[in-house]
């Protein structure tokens, strides 16, 4: 069985660690890379180095990795870690938790993570390094951009487009046909019934733009 690196050892990493174990990977074939000296893995997965050790680990035969660092407003760290893996010649892998329900027509790009209980319907595209977290529902014909994060319990109706580097908060609901731009943050529990332009922070029911381009949001107060 191939050996897999897991970058990061926080809460998001724990979900990925368990998903890999559920997929049949033995813990001895998994290794955690993290700058901290304290191993917080609940699953007995050993810590084998820091970020600067990636070239050495690649030479030792660690050729695939998953990034176990989540993101809310800033995806910069995930981008930097992906660049370090590329420079070391280590391939990003996609992880789909076995308990997720994924249509056979869903398209996933490298580095994506689909967590426990997620439901993704036909003809949906999940971009590079995107996260579809626990219990999220993504209906048919949606598109989730690179490095975007669909949080736990969020529901996207059909034909929703989410841009790159965008965060959809837990429990949010996105009406069918909505477009949300790049680098947006949608607060938890929001109900999105209008398009959100790129670079905006928005939240509420109905969801209103609180920071960014308010020109397309006549209801903003």
Rounded-to-integer distance, Cα 72 and Cα 51, Å = 21
196 and 136 part of one domain: yes
Residues 102 and 210 in one domain: yes
Does one domain contain both 88 and 129?
A: no
Q: What is the pTM of this model?
A: 0.93
- Residues 89, 99 within the same domain: no
What is 68-82 written as a DSSP string? Answer: ----SS--HHHHHHH
Query: 215: buried, middle or exposed (CB in 10 Å: 19+, 13-18, 0-12)?
Result: exposed
- The domain tally of the chain equals 2
Q: What is the DSSP string of 165-207?
A: T-EE-TT-EE-TT-EE-TT-EE-TT-EE-S-B-TT-EEETTTT
Residues 112 and 191 in one domain: yes
Distance from C-alpha of 210 to C-alpha of 218, rounded to nearest angstrom: 12
Same domain, residue pair 25 and 49: yes
Q: Are residues 191 and 88 in the same domain?
A: no
82 and 105 inside one domain: no
**Of the residues 93, 109, 127, the one at which a domain ends:** 93
pLDDT reported for residue 212: 82
pLDDT tens digits, residue range 173-212? 999 999 999 999 999 999 999 999 999 999 999 999 998 8
Cα(61)–Cα(55) distance, integer angstroms:
10
Backbone angles phi, psi at 160, to 5 degrees: -85, 140
- For residues 171 and 216, membership in a common domain is answered with yes
Q: Could you say which residues of the chain have pLDDT below 70?
A: 214-221
How many whole angstroms separate alpha carbon 181 and alpha carbon 6? 30
Residue-number span of the structural domain to which 184 is assigned = 95-221
Q: Are residues 109 and 70 in the same domain?
A: no
Report the pLDDT value the prediction gives residue 186, as an integer from 0 to 100.
98
Taken in order 74, 77, 80, 82, is the CA torsion positive or negative?
Answer: negative
At residue 214, the pLDDT reads 58
Helix (H, G, I), strand (E, B) or coil at 53: helix
| Dihedral angle of Cα 120, 70, 217, 124, to the nearest 10 degrees | -20
Q: Domain boundary at 93, 126, 159, which?
A: 93
Task: Judge if 175 and 203 occupy the same domain.
Answer: yes
For the segment 45-59, what is each residue's pLDDT rounded down to a tens digit? 999 999 999 999 999
- 84 phi, psi to nearest 5 deg: -65, -40
- Domain's final residue, options 43, 77, 93: 93
Q: What is the pLDDT of residue 221?
A: 35
- Domain with residue 63: its CATH number is 3.40.50.20
User: 3-class DSSP state for residue 91?
Assistant: strand
CATH of the domain at 181: 2.160.10.10
């Amino acid at each position: 069985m191939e050996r897999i690196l897991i970058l990061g050892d926080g809460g998001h990493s724990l979900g990925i660690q368990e998903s890999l174990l559920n997929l049949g990977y033995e813990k001895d074939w998994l290794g955690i890379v993290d700058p901290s000296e304290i191993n917080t893995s609940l699953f007995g997965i050993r810590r084998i180095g820091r970020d600067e050790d990636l070239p050495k680990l690649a030479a030792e035969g660690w050729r695939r990795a998953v990034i176990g660092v989540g993101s809310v407003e800033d995806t910069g760290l995930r981008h930097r870690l992906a660049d370090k893996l590329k420079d070391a010649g280590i391939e990003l892998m996609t992880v789909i938790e076995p308990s997720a329900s994924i249509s056979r027509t869903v398209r996933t790009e490298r580095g994506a993570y689909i967590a426990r209980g997620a439901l993704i319907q036909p003809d949906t595209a999940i971009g590079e390094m995107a996260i579809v977290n626990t219990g999220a529902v993504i209906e048919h014909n949606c598109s989730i951009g690179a490095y975007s994060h669909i949080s736990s319990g969020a529901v996207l109706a059909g034909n929703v487009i989410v841009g790159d580097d965008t965060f959809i908060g837990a429990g949010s609901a996105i009406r069918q046909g909505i477009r949300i731009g790049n680098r947006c943050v949608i607060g938890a529990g929001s109900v999105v019934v209008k398009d959100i332009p790129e670079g905006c922070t928005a939240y509420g029911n109905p969801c209103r733009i609180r920071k960014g381009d308010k020109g397309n949001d006549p209801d903003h107060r």
